[in-house]
A and B are shown apart, each in its own frame.
Chain A
Amino acid sequence: MGIEILGLPMMYYIAMLAKVLVAFVFVLLTVAYATYAERKIIGHMQVRLGPMRTGWHGLLQPIADGVKLFFKEEIIPSQASTFAFLIAPLIALIPAFITFAVIPFGGTIEIMGYKIPMQVAAYYDTTAGQVFDVNVGVLYILAMSSLGVYGIVLAGWASNSKYSLMGGLRASAQMISYELSAGLSIIAVFMLSGTLSLTKIVELQSGMGGFEWYVFKQPLAAFMFFICALAEINRTPFDLPEAETELVSGFCTEYSSMKYAMFFMAEYANMVTVCALTTTLFLGGWNGPFAVAVPLLGPVYFVAKVYFLMFFCMWIRATVPRYRYDQLMHLGWKVFLPLALVNIVVTGIIGYFI
């Protein structure tokens, strides 16, 4: 305990490293098994069985997929812009993962007298007696998710193929349009919370046995944010950029092997992040019965809520047909954007009188 490195206790570094590892492994495993879960769930919804051969009920399917993709031939089109082509999957993947840094997945636990908040980018200040995290956490997430566009745009452009370019353009136009509505819809939440720090937003939702959740105070905002977030990460029913029927899976047409897998991972990692963010902002984060008394219960509640939302996404995929491009733009600019603005105004008026 006494050892200090650059003014911070040893434990700080150990805790940081552990938190990064745990969060990373969690996202990675969730991503891997989300693919499996998706196939299984959609299968059962369509009265099929889904993967059954690899392992018990196909449990080893993600690993088999991974191995398959890993050993596939790596193809770089001769007319492609090599540098951009190589770097694009990375640019898509990294923002998807680093957004998780600011999401709190539990309360503060105490190990060997050192208090550790269960959130990657946060530390417990013993002198101030409180947790310090990134105080613009939500903005950080919005900023990072806006960077994800580049991966897709670059992939579409660098492939030097018509389908890819179309897919890339569609994807980026869609992401930029819906980023606006998503950002505006959560402003209503900030107006209630008065802070941008995710830790504090979760704390504010802890009371009243769950009825302090912002989903009850801001149902419209929650609904809009979730839909817009789905559109922003190109999930069904807004997955036009990778529409197989018209664009031969869009921006990743020319990709193969691990690079293709990276795009896939980025997509699912984005889904995890969006679900985690929705949980944090609207569903009370890691709050739940006895979560304060037993800190280890926090992550359990958090993960349960995230998985529920992910199930919801898959459910949507199984049931809702894909949007047409003009409908998509119409929905984003002419429905959600005004609605979000009206929601802000209404929240402001109500907040002024209460």
Chain B
Amino acid sequence: METLFFAIVSLVAIISAILVITCKNPINSALSLIMTFFCLATYYVMLDAPFMAAVQVMVYAGAIMVLIVFTIMLLNIRVNATQKHSHRILLGSIIGFFTLINTIVLLVKSQAAKPVGPFTGDMIRNIGHSELIGREMFTTFLLPFEITSILLLVAIVGSVILAKKNI
């Protein structure tokens, strides 16, 4: 059941990811990207990480992609059929192909390393995913959590300086 579901979701994810880069119309690309994010959220659910799934949809599909779609709409980027990058596409696909082969060979030849660490699936199910994330954030990762506030402040100040009309 789960394997079947995984296969279906993966198929959708791969197809929509390919559509992202092949679609001529940027809006359709953006929509495919949202679909890909949605599939990623499904993976998180299957990995016993419902909080991550919800946040993935909320932040990526719900907020960031809206901004991207906004930008595309406001700039009114239309299909640009005259550009051709055939040699670059060829180069890219050759590199990509060999990287893929390389990765597959490496994964098959090596004993696939299993993730280690204290957070096993059983533990997450027992304590609850959101609870665990909250706890880690305020204990183990207290300092990084606090640093993010400075990061956000810097980002706000920076965007105001660069984008505001009169400063």
Contacts and interface: CB of A to CB of B under 8 A. Distances in A.
Whether chain B is bound by chain A comes out as yes
Contacts of B128: 135
B153 to A, nearest CB: 16
A85 to B, nearest CB: 11
Q: Which of B1, B62, B70 has most A Cβ within 10 Å?
A: B62
Contact of A81 (B25, B41, B55, B69): B25
Contacts of A156: 73
Contacts, number: 77
Contacts of A6: 1
A135 B25 CA distance: 38
B54 A176 contact: no
Interface size class of chain A, counting residues whose CB lies under 8 Å from the partner chain: 20 to 34
B113 to A, nearest CB: 30
Nearest to A160: B76
B12 interface: no
A159 to B, nearest CB: 12
The secondary-structure label for the interface of chain A is: helix
A168 B130 CA distance: 34
Nearest to B54: A139
A275 to B, nearest CB: 21
Contact of B61 (A7, A146, A153, A172): A146
B27 interface: yes
Contacts of A165: 73
A143 interface: yes
Given A6-B1, A83-B28, A146 B54 contact: no
A140 interface: yes
A168 B74 CA distance: 11
B1 A150 contact: no
B130 A143 contact: no
Interface in A119-157: 134-136, 139-140, 142-144, 146-147, 149-150, 153-154, 156-157
Contacts of B34: 150
Given A153-B66, A172-B66, A146 B58 contact: yes
A84 B57 contact: no
Interface string A231-245: 000000000000000
Interface of B: 1, 25, 27-28, 31, 34, 41, 50-51, 53-55, 57-58, 61-63, 66, 69-70, 73-74, 128-130
Interface of A: 6-7, 81, 83-84, 87, 134-136, 139-140, 142-144, 146-147, 149-150, 153-154, 156-158, 165, 168-169, 172, 176, 179, 196
